Each structure stands twice: as C-alpha cells, then as structure tokens.
C-alpha cells in the first residue's frame, strides 16, 4: 500500500483511559506523559448509543485538574448537543461526537466552536465516508472507528485500513488541516499498518494501559518519530 504521509501534524498518541486503573488514574496519566503521550482520550458512553456506561463529566473535570495534557473527549452518546457545555466547562480541548447520534451535526459543531474548542466528528465502521464528507470542511478532526464503539480491548477491523486511506485522501482534498484519528484495536500488531494510512492521532487503550503505561507510551511515540523520519527521507529521495 502506498504511504500517505503529509506532515501537517506530528503523529500523536492519545491513550484511552478506559483501560487504565481508575484507583490511581492521575499516576497512570502522568506515566503516559513521561512516555511521550500528548493527549488523554476519554470515552464517554451512555448505555444507549452503545451498550456500556463509562465515564462522565466529573471524570473529565478531575483529569483536567491533574494534567496539562490535551483532553480528547469522545462522546458515544445520543443527542450529544445536550452535553457540549458541560464537557467544555469540565475542561475538554477537543470534543468528538458521532455522526450517527446527532440529528443536526452542524448545530453540534457550532456548539463546540462557540465554546472555543476543537470539534471532531466520528463514524462507526459501517458508516460510509460519503455521509461525513459534507462536514469535513467544518471540523478540526475526523475520527474513524476501527472497532464497533462500546468496549475497549477489541480486535482491529481489517477493513479500517482502506477506510483510513480514503479518509486521508478526502481530508487532503477538502481541508488538509483536519486531523485523522483512529480508535480501536490499535497496538503492536496493527500500528505500522495504521501509520501507513496517514492517520496522525492514534488512540490506544489496552496497548498502553494494559501493561506499563510509561514504557508502552515511550515505545509507541518513539515508533512514531522513526516513522516520520523514514517518511521524510522517502520524500526527499523522491525530490
């Protein structure tokens, strides 16, 4: 598969705290920061849009108080516009909502922007990119789910790779500054394939928090830097 590397952003790691040990969450987040993570990915599930109930506003607030890392709030909730204000007040930097969960995606994007935050829009594995295309020019981030949302620790859906490549092409065509985020089943066995698509924000839950968060974060962020370096070298060879 051809590499699609741009270099608009550094590739960044967003560990998902869904897989963290909540008894010592602050320490665990600090460990990922020492390892090079630059975001905290917070999965908000309402038991309706997805079967699970996970974290809510108080957790975002507590995390905000204990870290300077950027907070990436992933809303897996129906009618997300109801909670934009609350998550903005709690300290989110980016709020991503699901296209499938919003009656009026434009209104949700505006509500996020009114709070001065970065707006992300997400699609489930079965939702074609054509459905999200009209919103790309209006957001800062596109999140392509590589598992069915709802649970951590699932297996990466192989078809996600081709979808990510198409997503990157769509972003490059419409608004190249949009970040391409991938979430679900990204870890040792899939990270190289995922990087090859041009995704530049990688969510990892189990792969980071399942085992020594600092060591795992360092491992993956060093891999990102090597990947960027080799992509740069490849580009200058071609010039």
What 3 state SS string does 22-51 have?
HHHHHHHHHHHHHCCCCEEEEEEEECCCCC
CB 175 within 8 A of CB 192: no
Closest to Zn ion by CB, 74 vs 168, is 74
Q: Is 43 an interacting residue with respect to Zn ion (CB under 5 A)?
A: yes
Smallest distance from ligand DX5 to CB 73, Å: 11
Distance CA 96, CA 21 (A): 24
Q: Which stretch binds Zn ion (CB under 5 A): 70-78, 81-89, 104-112, 208-216?
A: 70-78
Q: Looking at 11, 13, 18, 92, which residue binds ligand DX5 (CB under 6 A)?
A: 18
Q: Is 16 an interacting residue with respect to ligand DX5 (CB under 6 A)?
A: yes
Please state, as a whole number, how many other Cβ atoms lie within 10 Å of the Cβ of residue 157: 16
Site map for ligand DX5, 104-143, x if CB under 6 A?
----------------------------------------
Closest to Zn ion by CB, 6 vs 70, is 70
Per-residue b or e along 106-116, where b marks 16 or more CB atoms closer than 10 Å to that residue's CB: eebbebbeeee
**Residue of minimal Cβ distance to ligand DX5:** 205
Q: Looking at 149, 196, 198, 213, which residue binds ligand DX5 (CB under 6 A)?
A: 149
Tell me which residues are annotated as active site.
43, 183
Selection from 224, 225, 216 nearest residue 16 by Cα: 216
């Amino acid at each position: 598969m051809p590499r699609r590397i741009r270099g608009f952003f550094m590739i960044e790691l967003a560990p998902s705290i869904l897989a963290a040990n909540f008894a010592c969450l602050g320490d665990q987040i600090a460990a990922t920061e020492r390892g090079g993570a630059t975001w905290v990915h917070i999965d908000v599930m309402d038991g309706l849009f997805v079967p699970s109930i996970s974290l809510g506003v108080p957790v975002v607030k507590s995390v905000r108080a204990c870290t300077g890392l950027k907070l990436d709030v992933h809303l897996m909730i129906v009618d997300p516009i109801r909670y934009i204000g609350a998550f903005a007040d709690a300290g989110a930097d980016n709020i991503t909502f699901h296209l499938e969960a919003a009656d009026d995606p434009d209104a949700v994007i505006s509500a996020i922007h009114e709070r001065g935050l970065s707006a992300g829009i997400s699609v489930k594995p079965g939702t074609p990119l054509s459905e999200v295309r009209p919103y790309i020019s209006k957001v800062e981030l596109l999140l392509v789910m590589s598992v069915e949302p709802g649970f951590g620790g699932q297996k990466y859906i192989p078809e996600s790779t081709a979808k990510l490549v198409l997503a990157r092409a769509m972003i490059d065509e419409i608004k190249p500054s949009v970040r391409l985020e991938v979430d679900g089943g990204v870890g040792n066995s899939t990270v190289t394939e995922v990087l090859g698509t041009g995704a530049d924000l990688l969510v990892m839950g189990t792969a980071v928090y399942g085992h020594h968060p600092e060591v795992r974060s360092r491992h993956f962020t060093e891999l990102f830097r090597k990947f960027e370096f080799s992509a740069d070298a490849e580009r200058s060879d071609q010039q």
